[in-house]
Structure 1
């Protein structure tokens, strides 16, 4: 099962990704969580101790490894490099693990104007493509807003794109943009979770804009989650309300996805 979570910045993508990962791990699934957001916070949301967090090196910063696999030096312009670097061993070698969840931190490309035609992006995209194609347990990707960087490799590989929205037009517009782009590359399973909902008006606002058939569930506004984020505590432990609400959403996702993989052999991450 492969789930990609996206939406406008600040809507709660990382909270949903972290709690889903911990819920699945608690049920005995082998879980790979991928932090594909350049503003990486998934390790903290998963409850990784600070000493483990400090040891995690984003893959985009492994310059020697990128040079070895792509045949080009990161940061230099005008080089020739392989577009299909070997990455099969990367998840096993470089993931961190805590409480049954394995984590890969992709990192971002900070060089202005680098676009995707560079060794760093080629390396990261190859890893994502490998994970999306080969993972057969639970893969949860905390993405940055939009899905452009994954390209057409996602079309037959993602069981569900989940867009987090809050009761605001900006958030809804981001959902429409993601849905349009997904349709253009052949991804039709785009579902929605409403977050930071304070009352019935907020809930109806989201339902009216996305459609009840696309809505997996609603998460109420929870000040405990914001406090946990400031204190570096996993929302899984901080908020029973949010944990239980996401558990209901998880069951709906499982009903949609797991049947497709029930007879497939286990993957070796």
Structure 2
């Protein structure tokens, strides 16, 4: 299952995504956490100290390795240099699995202990001094999109991505890579504006979208969200002493999270699990190809000097039964 957390900056999406990751881990469900936000805070939300969070390897820095591994023996891709963020897999490509090791995880993932279990964490990486003024952040998250395009995942394993804030997610096709998108919204006009914009942009792409109301402190807050969001409102979350202590560096066992907030996480989990029944691998592959062809025509062909449309394998459909990668 691929799950995205999106929302306005400051809405609490990183906190909610970290709580959901902890919930899955506590349930002994394999999970890979991905920090794809321009503000790299997921590591800290999962309990890393500042130095450890800053030392996480950047996926963007390992993009050549990622491309070379995923290319595998795909005859339609002449070299790793001709791969772009939207390049789809085909016959001969290496595929990623949540529970199997591979060189991508070896280079980019770090194991984060959580109580008596652990999760893998990967991060796009922050802006560096050399990026300032010359690069956009979407050049960083391209590594995440490429990995999601080549990921085969099942019902009882999760990839949870803390996405960049607001509608920046629509700068690529990555917003279509998820079984469920949880939009974290505060009960404010700005929070609702991001929801409306996201829903409008995603309208034609079969994006499963549910709203998680955050920082809900009164019946009036709840009524406001219900009036503005309607049936898309899935659940609400209020104040948490557990979260406040965690943000101060005093993390207690996850089992001590408030019962109301634990029930909210159960609702997210149940909703995500139900989305598995709606999974359509053919549509997923078709959308992947759609955005690849758009990017190829817009800039990819000119940048690589290759006809990137030729990378599309018309007979290939990504699925749980797709070719197994070679042993790492």
TM-score normalised by the shorter chain: which range applies? 0.7 to 0.9
Q: Relative to 1, partners in 2 of residues 1:116 and 1:35: Cα closer, same or farther, differing over 3 Å?
A: closer
Structure 1 position 220, deviation (Å): 1.3
Cα distance in structure 2, aligned partners of 1:117 and 1:96: 22
Instruction: Give a deviation string over 1:214-245, Cα, whole Å, max 9, x none.
Output: 12201113355234313364794674246414
Cα distance in structure 2, aligned partners of 1:128 and 1:101: 18
Instruction: Give a deviation string over 1:161-210, Cα, whole Å, max 9, x none.
Output: 110001100010011111111124x0331110001011100000011100
Structure 1: runs of 5+ lacking an equivalent: 72-80
Q: Report 1:1-269 matches (<5 A).
A: 1-48=1-48, 52-60=52-60, 62=61, 65-66=62-63, 81-84=81-84, 89-97=103-111, 98=113, 99-109=117-127, 110-112=131-133, 114-115=135-136, 120=140, 122-131=142-151, 134-136=152-154, 137-145=157-165, 146=167, 147-151=169-173, 154-155=175-176, 157-184=177-204, 186-211=205-230, 213-222=231-240, 224-231=242-249, 233=251, 236=254, 239-241=257-259, 243-259=261-277
**Contact map agreement 2:36 2:144 (CA 8 A) in 1:** no
Structure 1 position 31, deviation (Å): 0.3
- Which has the higher Rg, Structure 1 or Structure 2? 2
**Contact map agreement 1:19 1:243 (CA 8 A) in 2:** no
3-state DSSP of counterpart to 2:150:
helix
Instruction: Give a deviation string over 1:22-77, Cα, whole Å, max 9, x none.
Output: 111222211011110111111121223566435312223x2xx3456679xxxxxx
Cα distance in structure 1, aligned partners of 2:237 and 2:50: 28
Match of 1:77 in 2: none
Number of aligned residues: 249
Q: Relative to 1, partners in 2 of residues 1:124 and 1:90: Cα closer, same or farther, differing over 3 Å?
A: same
3-state DSSP of counterpart to 2:146:
helix
3-state DSSP of counterpart to 2:197:
helix
Q: Relative to 1, partners in 2 of residues 1:113 and 1:208: Cα closer, same or farther, differing over 3 Å?
A: farther
3-state DSSP of counterpart to 2:82:
coil
Structure 1 window deviating more from structure 2 (13-22 vs 250-259): it is 250-259
3-state DSSP of counterpart to 1:206:
helix
Q: What TM-score, normalized by structure 2, do the two folds share? A: 0.65
Structure 1 window deviating more from structure 2 (8-17 vs 89-98): it is 89-98
Q: Relative to 1, partners in 2 of residues 1:48 and 1:128: Cα closer, same or farther, differing over 3 Å?
A: same
Q: Relative to 1, partners in 2 of residues 1:144 and 1:57: Cα closer, same or farther, differing over 3 Å?
A: same
Cα distance in structure 1, aligned partners of 2:132 and 2:143: 15
Q: Relative to 1, partners in 2 of residues 1:194 and 1:117: Cα closer, same or farther, differing over 3 Å?
A: closer
Structure 2: runs of 5+ lacking an equivalent: 69-80, 86-93, 97-102, 280-319
Q: Relative to 1, partners in 2 of residues 1:259 and 1:161: Cα closer, same or farther, differing over 3 Å?
A: same
Q: What TM-score, normalized by structure 1, do the two folds share? A: 0.77
3-state DSSP of counterpart to 1:162:
strand
**Contact map agreement 1:129 1:154 (CA 8 A) in 2:** no
Q: Relative to 1, partners in 2 of residues 1:87 and 1:256: Cα closer, same or farther, differing over 3 Å?
A: closer
Structure 1 position 100, deviation (Å): 2.4
